[in-house]
Amino acid sequence: MGRTSDAKEKLLQVAFELIWQQSYGSVSVDDICERAKVKKGSFYYFFPSKSDLAVAAYEEHWQCNRPKYDRVFSPLVPPLERIDTYCKLLYEGQKAKQEKTGRVLGCPFASVGSELSTQDEKIRQKSQEMFDRMCKYLENTLRDAHKEGLIEKQDFSAKASAIFCLVMGMLLQAKVKNDSEVLRNLGPIVLQMIGATVPA
């Protein structure tokens, strides 16, 4: 009953995109509403605050992209290929965004986590959640790689975390240098880090 609307979804999409391209602090509720073609009253009909919208937008983005990650890190794919594909997708994704916007945007979760972790507890938690999710993909991959005799036994949890930190740092470097090419060779760097034979 009552009327239907895609305003909520539009707000989530636009918010994610705008905050990624700029920053949480520099994007206003009015900006988001204007781009989403939604009036401010509707905004506050759907979301209690700007911060709540941001959290919802990031969760929505994760839910939309989860199938993609599941595919990349599928147990059906050879372990080291998963990592290489993941790195390639990161590079290509950043490059594509750079071509569209003129700017390397880095990791959206890292950016918002870095900006707001000391300020907004809900956003901090969402950032941490993403961190843990990605580390799990990597940890599983490392375990599988070990089972297949591709890498030595090691602390897989710690190593997965270190890999993800390296990747986040690389994305930050790309953003700060506004140069996606620093990500070109990411795959081999990560593979070497886990002691895998790097393909020529």
Question: Under the criterion CB under 7 A, does residue 118 sit at the interface with DNA?
Answer: no
Stretch that binds DNA, among 39-47, 85-93, 115-123, 178-186 (CB under 7 A): 39-47
d(CA 130, CA 127): 5
Question: Under the criterion CB under 8 A, does residue 182 sit at the interface with a copy of itself?
Answer: yes
Supply 58's token pair. 């990031």
Residues 166, 164, 88, 15, Cα dihedral to 10°: -110
Residue the block writes with tokens 């506050």 = 44
Question: Under the criterion CB under 8 A, does residue 199 sit at the interface with a copy of itself?
Answer: no
Q: DSSP letters along 146-169, please?
A: HHTTSS----HHHHHHHHHHHHHH
Question: Under the criterion CB under 8 A, does residue 86 sit at the interface with a copy of itself?
Answer: no
Q: Binders of a copy of itself: how many residues, by CB under 8 A?
A: 42
d(CA 114, CA 92): 23
Q: Which of residues 66-85 bind DNA (CB under 7 A)?
A: none
Q: How far is the CB of 97 from a copy of itself (least distance, A)?
A: 10
Question: Under the criterion CB under 7 A, does residue 29 sit at the interface with DNA?
Answer: yes
Residue the block writes with tokens 């009953």 = 1
Q: Which of residues 29-58 bind a copy of itself (CB under 8 A)?
A: none
The burial of 31, by beta-carbon neighbours within 10 Å (0-12 exposed, 13-18 middle, 19 or more buried), is given as middle
Return phi, psi of residue 183, to 5°. Answer: -90, -5
Instruction: List contacts with a copy of itself (CB under 8 A).
Output: 21-26, 103, 105-106, 110-111, 113-119, 124, 127-128, 131, 158, 161-162, 164-170, 172-173, 175-178, 182, 185, 189, 193
Residues that bind DNA (CB under 7 A): 1-5, 7, 27-31, 38-45, 48-51
